[in-house]
Chain A
C-alpha cells in the first residue's frame, strides 16, 4: 500500500528529518524513576548554586 502524504505532511517530515532525535535508551532514561530521582537532586544542586551566585 502506498501512503499518500499531503504537501503539509511532506514538509513536516522533511523539516524534522535533519533534527537530532533521542534514541530509545535516552527516552527511557528521561522517565526512569530511579535515574530521574538522581537527576532531581543534581538539577536542584545546580539551581541552588546559580541562585547563590546570583545573590552575590
Chain B
C-alpha cells in the first residue's frame, strides 16, 4: 500500500503547525508536503517591534527548508494556483497546481497529487481595495517583515526631521472599512508613541489612531468586557484610557476611500466625508482569500462551490444569510472540513467565517464599515493542530474528522505590547473565552467572565518576550517543541 500524501498550502502559523504535528503523529506512514511561496517562517506578532526599529527582520524570521529537511517534510517554494479536487479526465487522483517562486525556476508549473489537503494560505493583503494604500502607494504596513522594515526606516527619517525641529503627523490604523487586525494597529501606535518618547521627540509628534471600529476596543470581536478592580469594564473604556494617557487622538467609524501623498480621504458611518493629513501613515489592508481556483474533473470551474466571494474557503460553518440577532456561536465551524470534499480542509485565516462578530454597519451611501472577525496566532495554531489530528485519524481509518476547534469554544490570549523595555515597558495582557461570543451560554456579555481578563503592566511585556522566544523555538521544531502549547 502506498503512503498517504498530505499537502499543506502555506507555512504560516496554521500551516506550519499542521505540518509539524502531522509529521510527529504519522512519521513514515505519510508524506507531508508543504507548498509556500516564501521560504521563511515569520513570527508575525513580533513584526511590530521590527516596525519601530527594535528588532531586525532576521530576528522574527528563519529559513524553513533546513527545518523541513531535518524533519523529513517535503517543501516546495511555490504559489498554489488551481485546485483539482476530483483529479483530471481519466485520472481521479486529486492534485494541486502551483507556480514555482524559487529563484531560477520562477513560473515553473508543479502538479502535486494529494490524499488530503489543508488550505492554510493565510490572507491576501488586499491593498488594492483602497486606492493609494500600501507600501507601493502612500502608506506603510507591518504585515510582513520587509514591510515592517520599511516602516522602521520611514520612522527613522521622520525622527531625523523632528530632531531638526519639524513637527510630524503620524496616522496609524485601518486602511479600509472592512479591515481586521485592529490589535496590530493598536500595538503599533502605542509602541510608536513609546519609541518617540524614548528618542526624545514625542513633543513634536501628533499621533492619530484611525479605525473602522464603531468604538475603540471593538477589535473585530464586538468588544470585550473585563472584570477588574470591582468593576466590569468594556474594552472601549480600557482602550480610551490607554490612548488618553499617552496623548493619542482617535478617529473611529471611518472607511478610507483613498490615499494621496500626505492625505487620507475618509467616509464616516454617518455618511460625512473627511480627511486626515499625515507625514507617516501605517494603515493595515483588508484581507481576502489568496485567489485559489478550483476545477472539477471535466475542467469546469467550481471555485464558487468551494470558496466564498471573499476568496476564503467554505468549511463546516452555517453560511446562511441571517440578521445579526439570529447569529449563533454554533454557526462557526468545528472541524474545518470542506462540505464538498471529505479530504479537503482549511485552517487559520484561510477558512471563510460565517459572519462578522461585530455588528455590521453601513453608511447612508451603502459603504460597509464593519471590522472583520479576528483570527490571530493562537486560534490559527489550535485549528491547525486539530485539523492535523483529524487527518491523522482519518488516514488510520476514521470515517470523519475526530477533532473540533470552534472559535466559539476556545479562548485566546493576546499580549499587546505597549512599549518595549525590560524595566519601563508595558503590555496589555488580554484573555478572552470564548473568542466568538456565545450569548446562549453566557447571556450577559457573551463570554465567561471567570476566564476573560485584561491588565496592563510590565509583566505583560515579559510574557511577550517569553512568547516570542518560545514560539520561534517551537516553530524550529527543536527538542521537546511539542511540549509548548499553542
Contacts and interface: CB of A to CB of B under 8 A. Distances in A.
A8 B247 CA distance: 12
A15 B249 contact: yes
Interface of A: 8, 11-12, 15-17, 19-22, 29-33, 35-37, 39-40, 43-44, 46-51, 53-56
B245 interface: yes
A4 B382 CA distance: 54
A36 B410 CA distance: 27
B65 interface: no
Interface string B233-249: 00001001101110101
B481 interface: no
Interface in B405-455: 409-413, 423-424, 426, 429, 431, 433, 451, 453, 455
Interface of B: 206, 237, 240-241, 243-245, 247, 249-250, 382, 409-413, 423-424, 426, 429, 431, 433, 451, 453, 455-460, 462-463, 485-486
Contact of B244 (A16, A31, A39, A47): A16
A43 to B, nearest CB: 5
A51 B241 contact: no
Contact of B458 (A16, A30, A55): A30
A53 B411 contact: yes
Given A19-B237, A43-B460, 5 more contacts: A19-B243, A30-B426, A43-B455, A43-B463, A47-B463
Given A37-B459, A47-B431, A21 B241 contact: yes
A37 B409 CA distance: 31
A15 B413 contact: no
B245 A22 contact: yes
B206 A8 contact: yes
B458 A53 contact: no
Contacts of B206: 8, 12
Contacts of A33: 423, 458
Contacts of A19: 237, 240-241, 243-245
Nearest to A12: B249
B243 to A, nearest CB: 7
Contact of B462 (A8, A12, A40): A40
A49 B485 CA distance: 12
